[in-house]
Structure 1
Amino acid sequence: MGSQLFVAGFHRGKAAGLPVADALAVFGLTEADESKGAYLLPCDVTLEMSTWIEDNCLTTLCIDRPTDNDRLYSEIFLLLSKGPYVAFVPDGPLATAQLEVKNHLPETMQEGFGPLVNVTSASALRSTLSDGQLRVQSVSS
């Protein structure tokens, strides 16, 4: 997997998301768990997650050096299922668990990432994002 995995929320073309406490609860975290501007995710290996918050909603998160850990993708899929979010890796496709998110994406995201991929499980999410990374690596190799 690549160096970063992003999850971003949108509503009517603008940043949106779940209340911070609800979004963090998906990962078994609270706001008190934040340390030095990031959270450490307990997914068998410790991963660093940075967040962007607007109007007390978690609008974007970035996971540095994601792994193929099943728990990580289960938690991200759960977040995609609960809120207006898409997940993506640099130069990969946009993935969502809610197709109606397509109507809320900024036009530039739709143009830059191509068609939105609807995922129906954590394993489909992992496969979609991994395939995007493999495609990028083979082009740049």
Structure 2
Amino acid sequence: MLFRNCAGGIVFYGNKVLLLKNEKSEWVLPKGIIKGDNVPNKVAVDKVKDECGIDTKILSTAGQTNYEFYSISRKTPVCNEIVWYVMESNDAKCNINKELGFVDGGFYKIKDALELITYSQDKSIVNLSYKKYKNLKREI
């Protein structure tokens, strides 16, 4: 099995969260593989920028998830472990990168986002991260 370390962002703008719709019609969060000597928090910020055209700042860690799938091109099982960060954007304007295979996306109200998100792990991390985000905003 191929193991890959990844990092991603759960990006909030007010009471909305950023989602992407990929070419398989799955609603997901921005994330990517940590390559070389890159650090997870930089990868997370860079992936949000690359995939959505949004500048963000990290407020906190959010947790980790992992999932397995079979890579047809590599002919082997793959396990992605993702470290997530709670992020904030000062702008809701997205520029979804269709060259990376995304077909839609943007900021969605939390209730709507939880209905759209394809994977239960992603739903859980968004729900927990929104609670953390609200608490962090109260402290400021």
* Fold match by TM threshold 0.5: no
- TM-score normalized by structure 1? 0.29
Give the number of the structure whose residues are more often helix, by fraction: 1
- TM-score normalized by structure 2? 0.29
Instruction: Tell me: higher relative CO, structure 1 or 2? Use CA pairs within 8 A at least 6 residues apart.
Output: 2
